[in-house]
Amino acid sequence: MTKRNILLYTVFFIVITASFSLLIPETLRQMEGSDFFTYSSDFWIQKISNAPGVTGWLSNFLLQFFKWPLVGMMIMSFVLTLTAIFCGMLPQAMGRKGFPELSLLLPLFLSTFVLLNMNVYLQAAFFFCALLLGIHIKRPLHKSIFLLLFSIVGFFLICWPLLALTIIFIAGEAYFRNRKPTILIVGIVSLAITIADVYISNALFGFLPFDHRFFYSPIPDINTLEFITIFIISILLVMIPIKELKKWKSWIPFAIMIIATCVITSIQLHREDVIHTEKTYLYAKLSDEKQWTKLLSTIPHEETLESKLPMCYALLAESALGTLPDHIFDYNIFDPEQFLFRHELKSVSCLFNRQFYDNLGVYDEAFRQAFEYGVMSPDGTCFSSLRQMTHYAILMGNYEVANKYLDILDNSTLNGSWVKNERQLMNKHKKPNQKLPIVKDTFVSVYQFNSEMIRQLQVMPKNRKALDYLLLGLLMQRQLDKFSIIIHAFPLYKNQPLPKAYAEAGAMLAQAPKLSLHNAFSYSSELDKQFLQFYQMQQQNKDPNTFVNYYGTYWYFYFFIQPAQQAQEEQGRAVNS
């Protein structure tokens, strides 16, 4: 390998590592969160039963290092760079001139179209490593032994199409070099062994799906033929016998590849879906860290008007800060069901819903949402889910479950210090004294949002966040009479100025003596006059555009925003029977 190529691979490694870790750090961090790894036989069997098993296991092991995005990305870039190096060394191993700079194209392709997929990257690295080794071995006997051994070992490292390609390539290259048919026979036997591997693995380990046995692509959206073609083209490209360039011209391929790396990486990391994912995980992280002010300032207000998830996060931050009743009508929410993602079983919905119930102090539901999030991860559970469930279990005083998860996490590679801290927390934590009923009608996601909140309030009558959600839900549904009853029944706002939305609702109720808030709560009587003025204007002029000054008030919402359709009473959730 020339010094220039060493420099090329080094620059590639640095560009990939730096750009990913700088531009999408939260997406990288989340890769550790949705990963799972433990040194247990159950986990090993689970991984080994899916071909290629060892790579699957190793991939999960390495993903743990994304706990530190830079370290994780260094490992991933290293795997991609190794792929390029092995690929670039093929011509030399075959005694040919080639174009090793083009070996960067495959890693670039993989990092673009198979974004952050450690398993596929490892397979590519193993494939080229095996090719290089197989070609390097010159003695026919050693090559034959290598082929026969790799037909077994390779089954656990790379998918069958790559395994077959490796054997065909090595045996073919050796045959064309020496014209001895023995190596072809060894190649055919090795191929036969790879077929036997599939059936033996299916018999000894878990079931290998029919469409995941021979001709399949490990890359979603790319069929087997395309997948194989990509690898064949990568090999052919580095074999192009390029004429040696002199002086500064010799740097042209180098410069082109570096520019290509920078441009492609930049385009890819500025894709809308990549940015959206990064933002989601950033909001989630700030929310988990309870950095509510920072979260609010991070979410652009226009984004909250266009998309539900940013709005939900902004409203969650407002609730946590206690400012929800002041700012609610600045947002594009018109139905209390929109406070969270009810009845949605997507991982991002579960992620948010967990934080919603965590903020509300309903830890059993936060635990459940963390559980569902874990179930939806590739391995059926994941580190972030386990850590969150542990934490909620401790808060609920369920130390047996917490201990179970702590033991499992302790059996991974990098959770030791977290486990230690959490055990200390558990030792200090006082088990809740409250004796819980065995069953009680406090179902979550069964009733409409407002009905659910009233049930939560009955259990937690001093929970101001739940009260806010209920009161604001009632206001959104224009149920001012119920609003008045509830705010009186749960007098958490007594002896303090009412927040904006409640005061504005109070002004609307001022004319109804039985429902008026004036006796029990304090807000400026000037607001009553302002409302009367607004009301008189509204009666004469129904055009909302003339009331832009009132945007963000409950009055504007009440008179100009289309009422939401009443949600159907939910009857429960389907189960697996």
Q: Are 303 and 370 in contact (CB under 8 A)?
A: no
Which residues, 6 or more positions from 488, have their beta carbon under 8 angstroms from its beta carbon? 520
**461 in contact with other proteins (CB under 8 A):** no
Q: Are 166 and 147 in contact (CB under 8 A)?
A: no
Neighbours of 554 (CB within 10 A): 26
Neighbours of 458 (CB within 10 A): 13
Region of 17-25, 65-73, 313-321, 456-464 interacting with other proteins (CB under 8 A): 456-464
**446 in contact with other proteins (CB under 8 A):** yes
Instruction: Closer to other proteins by CB, 283 or 490: give it.
Output: 490
Least Å distance between CB 159 and other proteins? 16
**568 in contact with other proteins (CB under 8 A):** no
**416 in contact with other proteins (CB under 8 A):** no
Q: Are 144 and 171 in contact (CB under 8 A)?
A: no
Contact with other proteins (CB under 8 A) among 242, 459, 561, 564: 459
**540 in contact with other proteins (CB under 8 A):** no
Centroid of chain to Cα 45: 25
Instruction: Closer to other proteins by CB, 135 or 350: give it.
Output: 350
Contact with other proteins (CB under 8 A) among 273, 439, 513, 539: 439
Helices marked H in 270-327? 272-288, 292-298, 301-306, 308-321, 324-327
Closest to 552 measured CA to CA, from 285, 365, 339, 304: 304
**577 in contact with other proteins (CB under 8 A):** yes
CA gap 155, 198 in Å, rounded: 8
**46 in contact with other proteins (CB under 8 A):** yes
Contact with other proteins (CB under 8 A) among 278, 365, 422, 528: 365
Size of the site for other proteins (CB under 8 A): 53
**42 in contact with other proteins (CB under 8 A):** yes
Least Å distance between CB 381 and other proteins? 6
Centroid of chain to Cα 305: 23
What separation in angstroms does the CA of 150 have from each of 370, 432, 433, 533?
41, 58, 61, 85
**404 in contact with other proteins (CB under 8 A):** yes
Q: What phi and psi, each to the nearest 5 degrees, are found at residue 497?
A: -65, 140
Contact with other proteins (CB under 8 A) among 172, 209, 241, 461: 209
Least Å distance between CB 537 and other proteins? 45
**Burial label, 489 (beta-carbon count in 10 A; 0-12, 13-18, 19+):** exposed
Contact with other proteins (CB under 8 A) among 169, 292, 371, 534: 371
CA gap 149, 335 in Å, rounded: 64
**574 in contact with other proteins (CB under 8 A):** yes
**379 in contact with other proteins (CB under 8 A):** yes
Least Å distance between CB 422 and other proteins? 16
Least Å distance between CB 155 and other proteins? 17
Q: Are 285 and 273 in contact (CB under 8 A)?
A: no
Instruction: Classify residue 542 by its DSSP letter.
Output: -
Instruction: Closer to other proteins by CB, 50 or 522: give it.
Output: 50
Site string for other proteins, 329-348 (x = CB under 8 A): ----------------x---
State the residues that interact with other proteins by CB under 8 A.
38, 40-42, 46, 202-203, 206-207, 209-210, 345, 362, 364-365, 368, 371-372, 375-377, 379-381, 398, 400-401, 403-404, 407-408, 411, 436-446, 456, 459-460, 571-577
